[in-house]
Amino acid sequence: MIVSRAPDSIHPFLRDASNLDGGAAEAVWLPQTEQEVIQVITTARQQGKRLTISGGRTGLVGGAVPTGAENGWILSTERIRPEPVIDVANLSITVGAGIRLFELREAAAKQNLFLPPDPTEPTCTVGGMVATNASGAHTFRYGATRQWVQQLCVVLASGQRLRLNRGEVIANGTTAELSTLEGSTIRLKFSDLPIPSIKNASGYFLKSGMDLVDLFIGMEGTLGVVTSVTFRLIPIPNARLGGVVFFRELQPLLRCASEIRSRSRNPNARLNSNILEFADWNALQLVREKFPAIPDDAFGGGIWIEQNLGSDDDAQILEEWMELFQRHEAMMEESWFGEHEQELARMRELRHAIPSSVYEFLTANGQTKIGSDMAVPESGFEELYSFYRQQFADSGLATVTYGHLGDCHLHANILLDGSHQLPQAKLVYDSFVAKAIELGGTVSAEHGIGKLKRRYLRQMLGSHAIESMRQAKQTLDPDELLGAGTLFEF
């Protein structure tokens, strides 16, 4: 097994995409197998070292950055990469935790299958996806990572192993028993958390009668090391219509989005989008150089849509889309529509370029990410977004907003070019959190809590719920070996 102790080899593991400062570790361990993971955990216990689990380090909240404990170690999963195994008959794929999302996609595509959850950054690992319950554009139609996990292999902080198949270990009310492969039984007692019934990645999933596989989805490296995952897959649609549709004004765009949302949720409607993504004018400006086909008067922003085709209704579906966009004053001539894979890929590239450019900007300016990840129920969305815009306008800060409009979940980012703006940016961000909570929302819909959003988690869930999470942590990791400083204050 590779162990790196040289500062130069450790250095790249001290940052994720949040740009959180202050990471420090004595060593990075790179196990390749489950047995080697157990070996790292056992050695860490013997030597009194804490472990931070690191996947692709594309996380946006510092979960993979070891800032929680002095002299700890990093356990990187990036070499846990046995060949993916596809079960075509059962539509599933089993992958090692270190497999990157794009590699999983390539393997599945060879069998004409795909995994719907699609966090915008394809270099994330599947272990990281599970640990953060990642989601993306397709979540609008297909749900988050949680809905697609069939089996998890997890090594616990004790070095014992769990194999959890969905549907097999169900809590009896708020108590549950987990049997390890080594033959011991772990008894878990918890209280229900007030989990909002919207897209959510804020804290543990603790719910009466829950499936125990769900406890390890979204646990952010604090309850065990995920070594292998089996996902359900679905067939790649025969044909798809994609579109990036630009608007001169915001209000018609929002009205159009609202109609797409409700028609897509109606099982009898012909018009039915898999995605409903958004970028505001500032976000489009940020990537204009790379994408000169963005119209220079799309002041209202742009939305992304995608609908499966391949039925007798295709012509009618196209007509309905065009009628909808025209009625809502979209820039029909300048918008992008296409059905070829190359055209769809270009649309995805544009969407990916926006968060990437935000990351590049912040890295160039040495700043930590301050960007919202809150989602709210549909009834509160317009109020929240109008609050964001008002606060941004009053603050005079440089901002870009984009994200998952279909799920009422936007990333409103502040582009700090110097630390002098930090106190003001934090105040603005705090006001966003308070507003989202007031509207029944979640403080993290997909990036997780990590080290950057702990106090917001407490603000959202309350002390009682945090205590319930702590009890679960205490049961599974009593010595706090894993993920120090993530989710909980250390």
Ligand X SMILES: Cc1cc2nc3c(=O)[nH]c(=O)nc-3n(C[C@H](O)[C@H](O)[C@H](O)COP(=O)(O)OP(=O)(O)OC[C@H]3O[C@@H](n4cnc5c(N)ncnc54)[C@H](O)[C@@H]3O)c2cc1C
Residues interacting with ligand X, by CB under 6 A?
16-17, 53-60, 63-64, 77, 97, 119-121, 124-125, 127-129, 131-132, 134-136, 220-221, 225-226, 355-356, 359, 446-447, 450, 483, 486
Nearer to ligand X, 271 or 472 (CB): 472
Nearer to ligand X, 17 or 350 (CB): 17
Nearer to ligand X, 406 or 450 (CB): 450
Adjacent-strand bridge partners of 243: 305, 337
Nearer to ligand X, 242 or 355 (CB): 355
Nearer to ligand X, 77 or 413 (CB): 77
Q: Which of 216, 145, 182, 231 is nearest to 34 (CA)?
A: 182
Q: How many CB atoms lie within 10 A of CB 401?
A: 22
CB of 228 to ligand X, least distance (A): 9
Nearer to ligand X, 4 or 132 (CB): 132
DSSP 29-53: EE--SHHHHHHHHHHHHHHT--EEE
Nearer to ligand X, 243 or 483 (CB): 483
DSSP 98-123: T-BHHHHHHHHHTTTEE-----S-TT
Nearer to ligand X, 215 or 271 (CB): 215
Structure tokens at 384: 């929240």
CB of 89 to ligand X, least distance (A): 27
CB of 122 to ligand X, least distance (A): 9
The answer to whether 151 and 163 are in contact (CB under 8 A) is yes
Strand order in the sheet with 27-30: 2-4, 27-30, 73-76, 51-54
Burial class (CB in 10 A: 0-12, 13-18, 19+), 167: exposed
CB of 370 to ligand X, least distance (A): 15
- Give the whole-angstrom CA distance, residue 255 versus residue 248: 13
CB of 393 to ligand X, least distance (A): 26
- Give the whole-angstrom CA distance, residue 119 versus residue 383: 26
CA 308 to chain centre: 24
Structure tokens at 437: 């909570």
Nearer to ligand X, 221 or 441 (CB): 221
Helix then strand then coil, in percent of the chain rounded to 5, is: 35, 20, 45
CB of 273 to ligand X, least distance (A): 17
CB of 111 to ligand X, least distance (A): 24
Pairing type for strands 27-30 and 73-76 reads parallel
Nearer to ligand X, 70 or 319 (CB): 70
- Give the whole-angstrom CA distance, residue 272 versus residue 307: 6
Helix and strand totals (H; E) in the chain: 13, 19
CB of 7 to ligand X, least distance (A): 20
CB of 28 to ligand X, least distance (A): 12
Burial class (CB in 10 A: 0-12, 13-18, 19+), 252: middle
Compute the C-alpha angle 373/377/379, nearest 5°.
Answer: 130
- Give the whole-angstrom CA distance, residue 373 versus residue 377: 14
Nearer to ligand X, 58 or 274 (CB): 58
CB of 30 to ligand X, least distance (A): 13
CB of 331 to ligand X, least distance (A): 25
